[in-house]
Structure 1
Amino acid sequence: MLKLDIGQLIDERFILFDEQIRTKEELFTQASVLFESSGVISNIKKYKKDLFRREKQTSTGIEDHFGIPHAKSKAVLRPAIAFVKSSPITDYQAIDGTAVTYSFVIAVPEKSTDDHLIILSNLARLLMHEGFRNAVKKAKDASDIINNIQSNQSEKREPV
C-alpha cells in the first residue's frame, strides 16, 4: 500500500484558529478560502459544493468534537489538509453527539482514488489516540498543530 506523509500535506497557510466560525457553511467557506489562496483549489464554490455533497452521504464528524470533512473534487489541484479550530458548530455533530470544534479538512483531486482513502485513514488513525486529540485541543498556533502531526505520525509509523 502506498504511504503518504500527511505531515507534508498541511502547512501554516492551511491552519486557522477562528472562533467566529459557528456553522458548517462558514467552516467550509473558510477552509476553501485557505486552499484557494494557496493554489490548492481553483474554484471555491465547486469545492464547497463537493464538501456538502459528501456530507449529505453521512456526517464526517467523528468524536470528541472532531470532524474530518473531505471531498474529492475537480476543483482540487493537489492534495492538502487544512486545520480549523472554531466555536462549537451546532449544525455539525460528531457521532458521539458533540458539536465539532476541531476540523481537519481534506482536499483531494477527483481522480486520486487511493490517495483520498490513505489520507483519511492515516488522519483517522491519529485521531483515535486521546493524547493526539488533547494536544490538538491545547494547540495555540499553527506550529503546535504541525509539530503534533509530525511527531505523532512518526511515532505511529510501521517499520519498513
Structure 2
Amino acid sequence: MKVGFTMNLIDLMMSDLIIFNESISSKDELFEEIGRILEENQRVTKARKVIKDLYKRELETSTGIEDGFGIPHAKSKAVLKPTVCFAHTGKMDNYVGLDEKPIECVFAIIVPKKASEIHLEILSGLSRKLMDLEFRKQLKSATNAAEILEIINKEESS
C-alpha cells in the first residue's frame, strides 16, 4: 500500500476511534483504552500486542510533543489496517511534552509492522498539522467525535 501524504488523515479515522474521557489520567489508562477500542473496532487482532508495541516505542523517547499534545505511535504485527485514534483525556502527569506540560490530547497512530513508509508519512503529516496553533485550539475545545472529524476535514481541505 503505497501512499503519499495526499492520503488524508480523515481516511484513517472513524468516530468510534475518538475518545473523550476526562477520567483517563495516566499513560497506562490511555494505552489500555486505545487498545480496547482498536480491538473492539476490528483494527487490530490483539489489544495486548498493540499496547506492548506502544510502550516499546515510548522507551525510545516520549511521544509527547508540546501544548498538551502527544502522538504515540507503533508498528505492530497485530494491526489489520493503518489507523489513527484521537483521545481527549484528563491531564496525564506521567505523560508530558517537550515543554513539560501534561498531555491531554493524543493522536495515536498504529500501522502494520511492515508499513514503515506509511507510518512515517502519517507521523510527519500530522506533526505539520499540529504546528498550527488554531488547529490545536479547535481540537482542544471540541466536545465530541463529530466535531473532531469536522475540524480535521476542514484542515485537510484548506
In which range does the TM-score fall when normalised by the shorter chain?
Answer: over 0.9
Q: How does 1:105-116 map to 2 (within 5 A)?
A: 105-116=108-119
Q: How does 1:117-128 map to 2 (within 5 A)?
A: 117-128=120-131
Q: Distance in 1 between matches of 2:153 and 2:125?
A: 12
Alignment gaps of 5+ in structure 1: 156-160
Describe the superposition over 1:89-114 as per-residue Cα deviations: whole angstroms up to 9, x where unpaired. 01001001100000111110001121
Describe the superposition over 1:102-160 as per-residue Cα deviations: whole angstroms up to 9, x where unpaired. 011111000112100011111111100000000001101001100111110221xxxxx
Q: How does 1:63-142 map to 2 (within 5 A)?
A: 63-142=66-145
1:158 equivalent in structure 2: none
Alignment gaps of 5+ in structure 2: none
1:41 equivalent in structure 2: 44
Partner amino acid for 1:35?
L
Q: How many residues align?
A: 155
Q: What secondary structure does 2:107 align onto?
A: strand
- From 139, 143, 146, the counterpart of 1:143: 146
1:13 aligns with 2:28: no
Q: Distance in 2 between matches of 1:11 and 1:146?
A: 8
Q: Distance in 2 between matches of 1:154 and 1:121?
A: 18
The CA deviation at 1:35 is 0.8
The CA deviation at 1:34 is 1.1
**RMSD of the TM alignment (CA)?**
0.9
- From 26, 37, 44, the counterpart of 1:23: 26
Q: Distance in 2 between matches of 1:22 and 1:42?
A: 26
The 4+ residue runs of structure 1 with deviation greater than 4 A are none
Q: Distance in 1 between matches of 2:151 and 2:126?
A: 12
Q: What secondary structure does 2:48 align onto?
A: helix
Q: Distance in 2 between matches of 1:53 and 1:82?
A: 18
The CA deviation at 1:32 is 0.9
Q: Distance in 2 between matches of 1:113 and 1:91?
A: 28
Tell me the TM-score normalized by structure 2: 0.96
Partner amino acid for 1:77?
L
Describe the superposition over 1:7-44 as per-residue Cα deviations: whole angstroms up to 9, x where unpaired. 11111010010011011010001011111111101111
